[in-house]
């Protein structure tokens, strides 16, 4: 900390209080860890993402769900050169990032895609536009006699209840 330009100001973490279970506790754990190294943190609870001044809020609780069963199912929605985060100017992709993204997204060559995805993951680690804290545990329970087959292409945070996925048996 002595080598940084940090002068003891409060670093705020914004959290939408009714969005993720225990996100406030995760943010508070981060603040407690910062305190141990001399960084002052503050948790700001808001009612919606619209209530966050995105130009002012450098840190916020957030998710990046897997929209389809491919590495790009995580990356494409938010980390596309034309996606939400880039459009808000919270993430400024370089020309090399854009080229690697295009290869990872559109190449039919698996080897090229893997190489591009590895480059992108290294980029994320070095540039840190986000920090992966944890994956919330999700479980599904059904009563006896209900058969539910979780679909292979299940989108995160949804239950597919289409024909062939759920059935009932006689008790």
The ranges assigned to domains in the chain are: 7-62, 63-137, 138-171
- Are 160 and 151 in contact, with CB atoms under 8 Å apart? yes
Closest Cα partner for 44 from 55, 63, 30, 57?
57
pLDDT digit string, tens, across residues 89-136 = 888 899 999 999 999 999 999 999 999 999 999 999 898 777 777 766
Can you tell me the mean pLDDT for 19-40? 91
Between residues 73 and 97, which one has the greater pLDDT?
97
The percent of residues in the chain predicted with pLDDT above 70, rounded, is 86
For residues 59 and 40, give the distance between their C-alpha atoms in angstroms, rounded to a whole number. Answer: 14
Could you give the C-alpha distances from 154 to 80, 106, 112, 133, 161, in angstroms and in order? 22, 22, 26, 23, 10
**Res. 158 pLDDT band, cuts 50 70 90:** low
Can you tell me the mean pLDDT for 51-79? 79
Produce one character per residue of 128-161: b if its CB has 16 or more CB atoms within 10 Å, e if not.
eeeeeeeeeeeeeeeeeeeeeeeeeeeeeeeeee
Can you tell me the mean pLDDT for 18-37? 90
Edge to edge, what strands does the sheet with 59-60 contain? 41-46, 11-16, 59-60
SS3 per-residue string spanning 87-106 = HCCCCCCCHHHHHHHHHHHH
**Res. 156 pLDDT band, cuts 50 70 90:** low
User: Has residue 41 got a pLDDT over 90?
Assistant: yes
Alpha-helix residue ranges (DSSP H) falling in 37-160: 72-79, 84-87, 95-106, 110-127
Instruction: Look at residue 119 and give its three-state secondary structure.
Output: helix
pLDDT at 157: 57
pLDDT at 154: 60
């Amino acid at each position: 900390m002595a080598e940084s330009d940090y002068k003891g100001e409060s670093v705020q973490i914004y959290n939408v209080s009714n969005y993720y279970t225990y996100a406030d506790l995760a943010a508070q754990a981060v603040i407690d860890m910062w305190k141990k190294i001399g960084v002052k943190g503050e948790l700001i609870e808001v009612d919606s993402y619209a209530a966050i001044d995105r130009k002012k809020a450098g840190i916020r609780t957030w998710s990046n769900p897997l929209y389809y069963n491919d590495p790009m199912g995580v990356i494409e929605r938010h980390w596309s050169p034309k996606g939400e985060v880039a459009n808000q100017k919270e993430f400024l992709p370089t020309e090399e990032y854009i080229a690697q993204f295009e290869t990872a997204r559109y190449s039919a060559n698996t080897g090229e895609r893997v190489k591009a995805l590895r480059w992108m993951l290294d980029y994320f680690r070095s540039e840190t536009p986000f920090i992966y804290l944890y994956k919330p545990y999700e479980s599904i329970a059904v009563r006896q006699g209900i058969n539910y087959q979780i679909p292979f292409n299940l989108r995160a945070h949804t239950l597919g209840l289409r024909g062939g996925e759920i059935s009932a048996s006689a008790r």
